[in-house]
Structure 1
Amino acid sequence: MTQRAYNFNAGPSALPQEVLEKAQQQLVNFRDSGMSIMEMSHRSAIFDEVHNEAIALLKKLYAIPENYEVLFLQGGASLQFTMVPMNFLAADQKASYILSGSWSEKAFKEAKLFGTPVEVASTKDNQYRNIPALEDIHFNEEDAYVHITSNNTIYGTQWREFPETENIPLIADMSSDILSKPIDIQKFGLIYAGAQKNLGPSGVTVVIIRKDLLEKANKNIPTMLKYTTHADSNSLYNTPPTFGIYMLGEVLKWVEAKGGVAEIEKHNELKAKVIYDAIDNSNGFYKGHAVPESRSLMNITFRVTDEELEKQFLTEAKAAGFVGLNGHRSVGGCRASTYNAVPLEACEALRDFMVDFQQKHQA
């Protein structure tokens, strides 16, 4: 087999090699059925077991209380930008949106179609280099909900602490850091996340939603856009992304085998430190985008201070087997996405490449 690439893609991103190899072994004949899991009915007993195993394991790993539902949907986080206000923001209501990057801007824009989203904090004026300070954020107790994006893939920032919203439901887009560290689920009314960064392949969207919110949701919207439709049918109202759910379950088993989310967090901290140290110890040759107290453990964004050298850096990195190091097309620069499945060895290899490149080209 060709040597595995050093995969730093922002999404779809690296999957655990053990999971890929297991899927390869099971691809043609899943559990002695004579079929691939991609060929069998989503109503079959075999798939029902796979589906429920994945739900149960996610609840276990994240200590999700009984008063929450776990849903497997489609459409990515981008559809959730619409579903959230469609279900919970009436035309005469306001909701608080905290802007910390491009994806929170997109969510804010969609909410304007249904009610009145209010920008209660933003770090756009600082080029989204940091997360808003908690003491600067103020809510109205009549808000329908508060929306945040927990990790910002483009700018490389991440919430360390979440705002206290008391009786106002806190809704979070956790697409790029879900399952990367332990969180208190009970702080949130709803969490949503595309699977393609930490949970599995693209095509599955996980929603964790408090049951009392389901009871309050708008009933006068299309069937497929109601959370209650999917909660009432255990996410099997229509044909789900069966292979994606199977892979998600296998990734969850991998997380459990690694010691659970707390151990995954320790590993993520170590990986990120390896690369951040290379930036911080470069005497200005590399410059991080995010301020240190807001740095993401999932997306490490930086520039080579000389623009022409930056182009050369990315070209040589690609030739050396590093994939996905180009920054987002909207901001440029460099970005290393170090999601759960990215091994420490890949981060060490990138550090070594960065140090070597600097030694060759620093004036």
Structure 2
Amino acid sequence: MTTRIHNFNAGPAALPLDVLQQAQAELLNFNNTGMSILEISHRSKPYEQVNAEAEANLKELLGLGENYRVLFLQGGASLQFAMVPLNFLPQGQTADYILSGSWSEKALKEAQLIGQTHVAATTAGENYRRVPGLAEIKPSASPAYIHLTSNNTIFGTQWAEFPSFGDIPLIADMSSDILCKPFDASKFALIYAGAQKNLGPAGVTIVIIRQDLLENSPGAIPTMLRYSTHAKNDSLYNTPPTFGVYMIHLVLRWIKAQGGLAGIEKQNRAKAGLIYDAIDQSGGYYRGHAEPDSRSLMNITFRLPNEELEQTFVAQAAQAGLGGLKGHRSVGGLRASVYNAVTRKSCQALRDFMLGFQQNNS
């Protein structure tokens, strides 16, 4: 087998090696069925057990009870940008959006196609170097819901503390940092996340939704776009992405084995700290994009003195077995995505490379 590289891709992203090896071992004969998980019926008991355990383990990790459901959908977070307002933005009401990066902008644009919206806060004027402070958020008079994006992959910023708005439903896109650290999930009426960064392979979207939101699901939108459709059918209304859900099921088991979210957070802070320290101690050679109090644990964005050096950095890093370090095409620069499955060894290898690169190219 070709040697595995240090994978810093932003998504699809690294998966735990233990999980990949277990999936490999079970690929031809899952749970003594004589079939691969890729071949069995989604209505068979072996698959239904996978589906049910994945929902239970995710709620357990988040400390949520029976008043929440977990749905396994398709279409990515991009479909959720539309599903959220279709389900929860009635005519004559306003949905509030907090803008902290490109993905929150895209969520707002979809909502604007469906109903009335209000920008409750934005840091666009600062090129999204930070998330808005709690005191900067100015909700509309009576919003149907308030939407935020918890982590910004492109700009490398993350909410350190989530706001609360009383009885107003709080909705979050957590695609790029879900389960990276403990947080009070009960603050949220709905959380959605593409699986391909911290939870599993591309093709599955996780939706965590409070039961009371399901009770008022509108009947005038297409069946597949109603959250109630999927909740009533345990995410089995249509054929789900069975292999993807199976992989999420294994990743959730792996997270529990790491000590749950507290154990994962300890690892993530140590990993990110290695790279941020290399940036901070470089004397300005490496320049982080995010303000220190908004730095992401998951996506570390930085620049070098010029674009030519950045291109050389990416090329030489790839030769050294460090992949996925080129920044997003919309902003350039460099980005190291250090999701849960990225190891401390990989982060140490990147730090060592950064120190050596600076020494050789200053």
2: CA distance, partners of 1:173 / 1:256 = 23
Q: Is the 8 A contact 2:174 2:193 kept in 1?
A: yes
Q: Which amino acid aligns with 2:314?
A: L
Aligned match of 1:95: 95
In structure 2, the gaps of 5 or more residues are none
Kindly state the Cα deviation for residue 31 of structure 1 after the two structures are TM-superposed. 1.2
Q: Distance in 1 between matches of 2:307 and 2:237?
A: 51
2:334 equivalent to 1:352: no
Partner of 2:67: 67
Shift of 1:32: 1.4
1:297 maps to 297
Q: Which residue of 2 aligns with 1:253?
A: 253
Cα deviations by residue, 1:7-28 (Å, 9 ceiling, x for unpaired): 0000000000000000000001
State the distance in 1 between where 2:331 and 2:59 align. Answer: 36
CA distance in 2 between counterparts of 1:134 and 1:53 reads 36
- 2:56 aligns to what SS in structure 1? helix
CA RMSD of the aligned region, Å?
A: 0.8
SS at match of 2:215: helix
* 1:307 CA displacement: 2.1
Name the counterpart of 1:321. 321
Deviations 1:189-241 (A, max 9, x none): 10000000000001111101011111123221000000000000000000000
Which residue of structure 2 aligns with residue 150 of structure 1? 150
- Measured in 1, the distance between the counterparts of 2:184 and 2:124 equals 28
Deviation at 1:154, TM superposition (A): 0.2
Map 1:218-257 → 2, pairs under 5 A: 218-257=218-257
State how far apart, in whole Å, the 2-side matches of 1:307 and 1:37 are. Answer: 46
- Whether the aligned pair in 1 keeps the contact of 2:120 and 2:140 (CA below 8 Å) is no
Deviations 1:237-256 (A, max 9, x none): 00000000000000001001
| Contact 2:118 2:140 (8 Å CA) reproduced | no
Distance 1:93 1:305 in 2: 48
Corresponding residue for 1:269?
A: 269
Superposed CA deviations along residues 130-187 of structure 1, whole A, max 9, x for unmatched, are 0001001122351000000000000000001111111100000000000101111110
What is the TM-score with the length of structure 1 in the denominator?
A: 0.99
The aligned residue for residue 330 of structure 1 is 330
The TM-score normalised by the length of structure 2 is 0.99
Percent of pairs with identical residues: 63
Q: In 1, Cα distance between the equivalents of 2:258 and 2:210?
A: 28
Instruction: Look up the equivalent residue of 2:326 and give its one-letter code.
Output: N
2:310 and 2:9 mapped to 1: Cα distance? 18
| In 2: Cα distance, 1:168 partner to 1:140 partner | 11
1:290 Cα deviation from its structure 2 partner: 0.3
- Kept in 2, the 8 Å contact 1:141–1:167? The answer is no
- Residue 46 of structure 1 aligns with an amino acid whose one-letter code is P
With 273-282 and 305-314 compared, the bigger mean Cα shift is at 305-314
CA–CA separation in structure 2 for the residues paired with 1:130 and 1:57: 32
Q: Distance in 2 between matches of 1:141 and 1:232?
A: 33
Q: Does 1:191 align with 2:191?
A: yes
User: After the TM superposition, which residues 152-167 of structure 1 pair with which residues of structure 2 at under 5 Å, given as runs?
Assistant: 152-167=152-167
Contact 2:302 2:334 in 1 (8 A): yes
Superposed, 1:49-64 pairs within 5 Å as 49-64=49-64
Is the partner of 1:216 in helix, strand or coil? coil
Code of the residue aligned with 2:143 in structure 1: it is D
Query: In structure 1, how many angstroms separate the alpha carbons of the residues matched to 2:90 and 2:113?
Result: 10
Contact 1:175 1:195 in 2 (8 A): yes
Query: 1 CA distance for matches of 2:313 and 2:22?
Result: 35
Q: Name the SS for the 2:206 alignment partner.
A: strand
| 1:59 Cα offset (Å) | 1.2
How many residues align? The count is 362
One-letter code aligned to 1:318: A
> Which secondary structure state, in structure 1, belongs to the residue aligned with residue 212 of structure 2?
helix
List per-residue Cα deviations over 1:232-288 (Å, max 9, x = no partner).
000000000000000000000100111111110110000000000000000011000
Rounded Cα–Cα distance in structure 1 between residues aligned with 2:140 and 2:307: 45
CA distance in 1, matches of 2:66, 2:83: 23
Q: Counterpart of 2:313 in structure 1: which amino acid?
A: F
> Within 1, Cα distance between the matches of 2:141 and 2:271?
40
